[in-house]
Each structure stands twice: as C-alpha cells, then as structure tokens.
Chains A and B, each alone.
Chain A
Amino acid sequence: MTDRRRINGPAEGTTPPVFLTSSTHKPVIKRSPTTLRKIFLKTSLTPPATGSAFLELPTPSNPSTPTLKLTASVYGPRPLPSSTTFSPDARLTAELKFSPFSTPGHRRGYIRDGVERDLSAQLSIALEKSVDVGKYPKSAIDVFVSVLDCEGGLGDAGDGNDGGVEVGLMGVVAGAISCASAAIADAGIECFDLVAGGVAGLIRERGGVVEEDHVGEGMEAGEDISGARHGEKKNRGIALVLDPSPTDGYIILAAAAVGYMAARDELTLVWTKGSMGREGDGTDEVERLVDGAIAAATSVRLVINEAVKERLLLGLKEIGLIKEKAGGNDGDIVME
C-alpha cells in the first residue's frame, strides 16, 4: 500500500537513529508551578487566508529543547459546497495536522491518523461554541492548524514517556485553540468571545521518591495511593502545575485541558486524562485541575487580546491614513 501521490522512501523501510546512550538531559525546573511560559502570538502571517495566526511556546532556558510552534489559518465564511444539505448555521470544521518533522522519534505520516482526527474534532468543538454560527447561514468556516514543532509527550513510541499522562497532546490542543481563536478574530468572524486554551497537571516530582523508575512499580503506587503507607508521600510529591511541559522532568499523574471564554466565564471544552480521586479530598482533584487549567487559560487570554488588539490598531491606522488623505479636501467639514 504505497502512497502513489507522494515520493516514498526506500521500500525496505527506515528507522530513526538509535543513540549510544539515551541523551540524558534532565532540565531543572526553572519555573514556579504557577508561572506560564511566554507565548508568542502573531496574527495575519498567512495573507491569502481570511484570518491567520502563528503561535510559539519557547523554552527560553535551553534553545535546543523542543518548543511548540503552530500556525492556524481560517477561511470563510464562504458558501457551503453545493453537495451539502441546507444548514441554518455556519458549519465550522477544524483540521489539525502534524508536519512530518514536528515530532520526536518517528516521523509523522502524511495521512491523518487517529490522534490527529481526534485533536481536530476537539478543536472544532472548542471553537464552534465560541463562534456566532447563527449569523452565517449556509456558510462554511474552515480552520486549518499545522503543527510545525511540538514538545513530544504524545504517547508515541520512543517518546521517553515513562508512565505519565501524555501532556504533549493537551499542550498542542490548548495552543491550537488559542491560535485558531486569534485567527478567527483576525478573519473578522463574529464570536461570542475569544477562546483561550489552558492546561494544568497534577505532578509527582521526579527524583524525589524511589518508585518511579519501573513502570510496574509506578502503577502499584498509583493503585494504593489511598493507602496509609502512601498518604504521606502523596502530600509531599503531588502538586498542581499550570502549563506543564513534557520536557519539564516530572511525572504527570493527571492533566486537564480546557477551552475557556474568559469574558463570559464559560468553558467550551473540557478534556482530562489520568485518574483523579474523589473521596475525601478526592473531588478536589478534578476541580483543582479544571480550575488550574482555567487559570492558565485566563493568562493566555491576555496574550490573545494583545495580538488581536495589535492587528485591530493596525487596521484602524490604515483607515486613519485614508482619512488623512481625504482630510485635505474635507477640512471644512471638520471646522464646522
């Protein structure tokens, strides 16, 4: 089953390079648990699109550690293809694709895989609820997100993910939500509110406790976490972290990603992974995570606001320039 539309590699198949000793870079956690990474967000970088945005999550401490980079472009509202049935609302579709070179370990395939389809679906859910779809009957709004670079932690083989939750996927979804929402605003599509993506995780710090080297043992610890033996450890090791990164060097026990509309204080997407207790202080774990993710999203929202505002001011300036030109003749009107 070769892809006839693309140039394929050798038929024998190739393997990613295997290193002598796995590169043991153990970055020290330099951020405090509530500090978010600096986000770079810029709109209108794909001029052919109706609206577009580019988002980057740098890791300033070490330039060689992975960073998240993604672009979003929005087309629409444009007429639905004639083959589709009547729709009183705009139909929003979102497509998320990893570039072949975006992930550590194996290359990504060209054809959308299950993970990509799942993320696309979640992205479109998160965005659709923020767009005033009723305003655009019989139209389509298409959102495309390309992940150029990501931090790993996707649950892929050879990812170096030892037993924790794949928080990388959540980071991608949250970034995609923020970026796409800025792109939708850039396209001038009417929204109820901007959506910001936020991630929070419950972590057990690596290196502090003995038990995490072996997967099975890690499981065991998770299993009788309610047991008295582990009660003390639990209090010591588990902490809430906003905007966790898979490269930060801790084991993430559970994580939540949200799409959050800050001005309305409403959620458009909730996605959690990992087991969260509920008895006693247990219920708190889910709520703590969701609240943490919301807090992260609230901060991200400020960045989106700035990016959208920047673009808006630029647009106003352009209009202002036109007014200035015309102003020479219409000066009298102003004088009156």
Chain B
Amino acid sequence: MTTAPPLPPPSNPLSFPPATFQKLAPKTFLERHLQSTPATRPSGRNPDTFRTPSLHTNSLSHAHGSAVVRTGDTAVVCGVRGEILSLATGVGSRVVVLRSGEDGKEEEGDGIRERGLVVTNLEMGTGCTRDYHPGPPTDFAQAITARLHRLLLASKLISSQSLRILDPNTEKIKAYWVLYIDVVVISLDGNVLDVAWASILAALRSTRLPQAYWDQDAESVVCYPEVSRYKSLDIKGLAFIASFAVIDLGAEKGGKVILSDPDEFEEGVCEERVMVCALGGGKVGWIEKGGGVGQVAEVVECVHRATERFKVWEQLFVEVLGSSGR
C-alpha cells in the first residue's frame, strides 16, 4: 500500500468494486477515503460529522417510561420500569445503618448505589447485527452495560429522594422504587454507547411512576391508580456522551484523524478511542481514552466536538420532551 501513488486514485489494472475492497483491506479502504480532499468517510460524512439523531418517547405501554433513539443505522429502545423494594422484609439492623447515612444528606446517589436501586442492562441478542446471538450477553455487551451503569451512578442524575416511598404518618422511609432500565438494541451500526445513553436519559425523563405510599394496615406499599397522580422522576440536568475513533494515517499523509460517532466498520478498523461525557454549560463529566498514544490536543479536540454535540442532543430533547407530558 505504500507504493500506491498518493494523489490520483490508483489506476490499478486489478480493480475491485468498493465493497470487495472494503472487505479485503478495510484499513487501506478507510485510509484512502480520508486522504481524499476534503477528507470523506466511507459513509459520506466528514470526520467531524455526527449522525443526526431522532427520538421518540413513551411508545411502550407497559413501561413507566420509554424512548426510542436512532442515529443512522443504530437504533435502540429503552424501557424503564419501576418495582418496589420493601424494607419491611429486609433485615432490621441493616435498614437503620443505611438510613442514618441518608439523613446526613452528604451523598444523594448513595442510597441508589448501595441498595442497587437502579438496574441497567443492555440486550444485544436481538439479531441487531450478525455477530450477536441470543443467549448470555457477550463481553462487549457486558462492557457497555457496565459503562452505562457506572456513568449513570456517577452523573447523579437520579435523586434518591424521588425513589423513596414513605409512611404518610411518620414520614419514615418504608420502601424504595427500583428502576429497571433495559436497553434493547434493535439495529447496530457502531457507537451503541452514545445512543444507549441518550435513550436511557430520555426514558428516565419521560418516566412517570405511580404515587405510592405505605399502607399501615395492609403492611405493604400501595399505589394510586389515577394517572393524574403519577409523578415524574426528578432528573437533574443533562449529560451526553460523544464517542470518537482515531486513526493514524502516518506523518506524511495527514497524521491522525479523529472520526466522530464511528460506525461499525470504522470501529472495527480504528483501535484508538476517546469517549467524552459532556454536561451542560460547557462542563465535562467523564473522559475515557485508550487504545493508543495521542497528544493532549487530540483530547481537547474531542472535548470541543463533544460540547458541540451536546447542543444537538439538548435541542432534540427540548423539542421532544419539552412539550411531552404523559
């Protein structure tokens, strides 16, 4: 590949259709695309172009909140369902210990973390792509799940206050809502993390839990059936993930190229990855980088793009969720 002439497209006597070229030499295929002026990716996007997202919420009937998010050919459905964790059945001593910590109000998210009140899972065994089969989640799915779960806890979007179920007389915590967040990947074409995260956030924002209280006589938690008494979760702020793949074209051919929102093919070729979790007001919540050695400027560029991406998501959320009130 080093012998190929740099500027004009190689007029090789042996020529393949693009699809075959892509399969035979994926790396060269991607490199050639990025060397053209202006640099264009196989999908026709510029290196810094993200795919346009679309969002629908509350399309599922048995979930308390749900969202369908699609960017390009990656589509996920997220459903949030609340179930009740009663403290009455738990061991008495443990309840006391934990309650005292919560009363201190030092860490809002801690009740959520300690008790496992938020359960995040990602299901990829749905025939979303040819490599994932039904059955136990693959290493990849487990890794994504773990990252989503970690981010959700670290971002402290959910306040444990909104998950408490109180005894109306004594104002004591009698039970908690446990949020089961299940993301089902319908179609996968790379960068599932960004989309899954956005779907979780949208689903949580659209979630409305029934109003529940501790019934002293029945010694159990009872909910009011009226939809008008459903309460939405208190979700604080917004956070969006932007993922990047980095490819090194070599010093004389343009150096490193950062690809925003990589698709399945680009993810397979590029080893170096950057993930930025951007918050409102130009803040950054989480940065992950791995798979190669890069300059700090590279990460700074990613952060810059991530904050731009944040605005796109924010606008979409305002459009869809701002007016939606189930």
Contacts of B321 in A (CB 8 A): none
B145/A7 in contact, CB under 8 A: yes
Q: What bracket does the count of chain B residues touching chain A fall in? A: 35 or more
Which of B22-30, B122-130, B250-258 lines the interface with chain A?
A: B122-130
Known A-B contacts A7-B119, A17-B83, A75-B127; the reply to A146 vs B186 at CB < 8 A is yes
Q: Once bound together, how far apart are the Cα atoms of A66 and B62, in whole Å?
A: 7
Which of A47, A101, A112 contacts B66 (CB under 8 A)? A101
Contacts of A46 in B (CB 8 A): 75, 127-128, 186-187
Interface of B is mostly: mixed
In the complex, residue of chain B having the shortest beta-carbon distance to the beta carbon of A23: B225
Known A-B contacts A6-B137, A19-B210, A67-B61; the reply to A12 vs B85 at CB < 8 A is yes
Contacts of A95 in B (CB 8 A): 127, 134
Known A-B contacts A17-B221, A73-B127; the reply to A97 vs B134 at CB < 8 A is yes
A6/B121 in contact, CB under 8 A: yes
Q: Once bound together, how far apart are the Cα atoms of A71 and B182, in whole Å?
A: 16
In the complex, residue of chain A having the shortest beta-carbon distance to the beta carbon of B218: A18
Q: Once bound together, how far apart are the Cα atoms of A16 and B221, in whole Å?
A: 10
Known A-B contacts A5-B142, A46-B128, A48-B187; the reply to A10 vs B73 at CB < 8 A is no
B79/A101 in contact, CB under 8 A: yes
Known A-B contacts A15-B84, A149-B62; the reply to A97 vs B125 at CB < 8 A is yes
Contacts of B63 in A (CB 8 A): 101
In the complex, residue of chain A having the shortest beta-carbon distance to the beta carbon of B220: A18
Number of interface residues of A (CB under 8 A): 54
A49/B83 in contact, CB under 8 A: no
Q: Answer whether residue B82 sits at the interface, using C-beta atoms and an 8 A cutoff.
A: yes
B62/A102 in contact, CB under 8 A: yes
Known A-B contacts A17-B212, A20-B225, A66-B61; the reply to A99 vs B186 at CB < 8 A is no
B62/A15 in contact, CB under 8 A: no
Q: Answer whether residue B188 sits at the interface, using C-beta atoms and an 8 A cutoff.
A: yes
Q: Answer whether residue B155 sits at the interface, using C-beta atoms and an 8 A cutoff.
A: no
A7/B128 in contact, CB under 8 A: no
Q: Answer whether residue B18 sits at the interface, using C-beta atoms and an 8 A cutoff.
A: no
Fill in one digit per residue for B170-211: 1 if any A CB lies within 8 Å of its CB, else 0.
Answer: 000000001010101011110000000000000000000010
Contacts of B188 in A (CB 8 A): 48
B134/A144 in contact, CB under 8 A: yes
Which of A11, A67, A148 contacts B77 (CB under 8 A)? A148
Which of A10, A19, A72, A99 contacts B222 (CB under 8 A)? A19
Contacts of B142 in A (CB 8 A): 5-6
Q: Answer whether residue B86 sits at the interface, using C-beta atoms and an 8 A cutoff.
A: yes
Fill in one digit per residue for A1-34: 1 if any B CB lies within 8 Å of its CB, else 0.
Answer: 0000111111111111111111100000000000
Q: Once bound together, how far apart are the Cα atoms of A95 and B225, in whole Å?
A: 36
Q: Answer whether residue B115 sits at the interface, using C-beta atoms and an 8 A cutoff.
A: yes
In the complex, residue of chain B having the shortest beta-carbon distance to the beta carbon of A96: B134
Which of A10, A22, A99 contacts B117 (CB under 8 A)? A10
A110/B223 in contact, CB under 8 A: no
Q: Answer whether residue A64 sits at the interface, using C-beta atoms and an 8 A cutoff.
A: yes
B83/A101 in contact, CB under 8 A: no
A149/B61 in contact, CB under 8 A: yes
A17/B82 in contact, CB under 8 A: yes
Residues 294-330 of A at the B interface (beta carbon under 8 Å): none
Residues 16-52 of B at the A interface (beta carbon under 8 Å): none
Q: Answer whether residue A107 sits at the interface, using C-beta atoms and an 8 A cutoff.
A: yes
A148/B60 in contact, CB under 8 A: yes
CB distance from B32 to the nearest CB of A (A): 23
A101/B62 in contact, CB under 8 A: yes
Q: Once bound together, how far apart are the Cα atoms of A167 and B212, in whole Å?
A: 32
Q: Answer whether residue B307 sits at the interface, using C-beta atoms and an 8 A cutoff.
A: no
Q: Once bound together, how far apart are the Cα atoms of A22 and B223, in whole Å?
A: 10
Q: Answer whether residue B234 sits at the interface, using C-beta atoms and an 8 A cutoff.
A: no
A5/B189 in contact, CB under 8 A: no
In the complex, residue of chain A having the shortest beta-carbon distance to the beta carbon of B187: A46
User: Which A residues are within 8 Å of any B CB, using their own CB?
Assistant: 5-23, 45-49, 52, 64-67, 69, 71-75, 78, 95, 97, 99-104, 107, 110, 112, 142-146, 148-149
Q: What 8 A-B pairs come out closest when comparing CB atoms?
A: A144-B127, A101-B79, A14-B83, A73-B127, A46-B187, A66-B61, A101-B63, A47-B73
Would you mind naming 28 contact pairs between A and B with Cβ atoms under 8 Å apart?
A: A6-B137, A7-B145, A9-B178, A10-B115, A10-B178, A16-B84, A17-B82, A17-B84, A17-B221, A18-B222, A19-B225, A46-B127, A47-B73, A49-B130, A64-B61, A66-B61, A66-B62, A95-B134, A97-B125, A99-B123, A100-B81, A101-B62, A101-B80, A102-B79, A107-B81, A110-B121, A144-B134, A149-B61
